[in-house]
Amino acid sequence: MKTLAEAITLYQEERYLDASRRLALVTQFEPENVEGWMYYGAALAKLGRWAQAVEALRRVVKLRPDQVSGYCELAAALIEAGDKPSAHAVLDQAASLDPAHPSLRSLRARLTGQAPPPAKPAADEKPARPARARRRLRLRGLVNEHNRLPLMLGVLVALVIITLARVTIGRSTSGTQLAQATELLARADVQAKALAKQPGEDFDVDQQVNQLLREAESLALAAQRAEPGEPRVYALLARIAQRQHDPRRAWEHASHGLDLSAKAKTPDTKLRAQLLLARAVATADLAYGPSAAATLAQARTDATEAAKLDPGAVDAALDKRLAAGR
C-alpha cells in the first residue's frame, strides 16, 4: 500500500509519468485494487495514452460496476480514443445507475455536440465585390534626367521607412501575443489547482485547462513566427509543454532559448535562470532506464546554475526528486 500512496502523491503533484509507472506496478501485483486502477487510468489519460487508459478504466468498471464515476472516466477516455459507439453504451450504463449525475450532461454534449454551421448571407445581401486589379501607372514622360536621382532617393527612403515600420509593428504584435499567452497560462494554472484531487470528477474544468493551454500555445507560436530570435518566447513554450506533460518538447524549447540568450548583447540573468530551470525539470522528467542517474546529474547541474543566477528560480518538486536520486 506504500507504493499506492506514493503513486497517489505523484498524481496529486501532477507528475503523471512517474505516477503511471508506480501504478503499473500496483495493478500488476494487486489486480483487484480498484483505487489503483482508477488512478492508473486517470494518469494515463493525463498523458494522452487513451487506448491504455480505456483498458485500465474498463477494469475499474468491472471491479466496481456500481460506481458511476468509473463509467464517466471510461466514457471520457473512449471519446478521446475515438470510440463513440462504446462511449454511448457506457454513458447509458452510467445513466441507468444515476440519471442526474453532474458529469453525464457534459459528456453527452462532448459526444454528440457539433459546431454550428456557418451563417448564410441574407437573401437581400449582395455578395462582396472582388478586389479590383491594381492599375499600372504610366510614368513615361514623368521621369527625366533632371529628376531621376531625387526620385530614386525618395523611393529608397520610403522603402527603408516601410521596412522599419513593419519590424516595429511585428515586434509590437509579438509582444502582445506573448503577454496574452502568458495570461492564458496563468489562468490554466489557476484552473488546474482548482481540479479535484480525486480522479473521476471535474471533467469540465479539465477540458477548460486543456483549452487554455492550446490557446496559449497558439499565441506563443505566433509570437515565435514574428520574432524567432526572442528567447522569452521559448521560455513560455517550454512552460506550456511542461503543463502538457511533454518533457521532450519542453527540453527542446528551453535549450533553444538558452542558445539564443547566450548570443544576446545584453544578458538577462533572470530569463536565463527560468530557461535553465525549465530544462532541468524536463531533463528530470526524461530520467528513466539505465541512464537515469546521469540524466538526473544533468538536471541537477542546470538547477544549480539557475539558482545561482536567480535565487528565486527554484522548484520544490524538482529539488525533492533530485535529492531522492542522489
Q: Which residues contact 174 (CB under 8 A, 6 or more apart)?
A: 222, 223, 226, 227, 230, 233
Has residue 149 got a pLDDT over 70? no
pLDDT at residue 259 tops 80 = yes
Cα angle for residues 101, 15, 248 (degrees, 5° grid): 120
User: Residue 174's closest CA among 231, 235, 233, 223?
Assistant: 223
Domain spans, the chain: 2-112, 163-228, 248-326
pLDDT beyond 50 at 136:
no
Element at 137 (helix H, strand E): none
- pLDDT of 126 reads 47
pLDDT at residue 174 above 60? no
CATH topology of domain 2-112: 1.25.40
Q: How far apart are CA 302 and CA 80, in angstroms?
A: 36
Please write the tens of the pLDDT for every residue from 63-116. Answer: 989 888 888 889 888 988 888 899 999 999 989 988 888 778 888 888 776 433
- Residue with the bigger pLDDT between 166 and 89: it is 89
pLDDT more than 70, % of the chain: 74
pLDDT at 162: 60
The continuous run of DSSP H or E covering 11 comes out as: helix 2-12
Residue, of 326 and 234, whose pLDDT is higher:
234
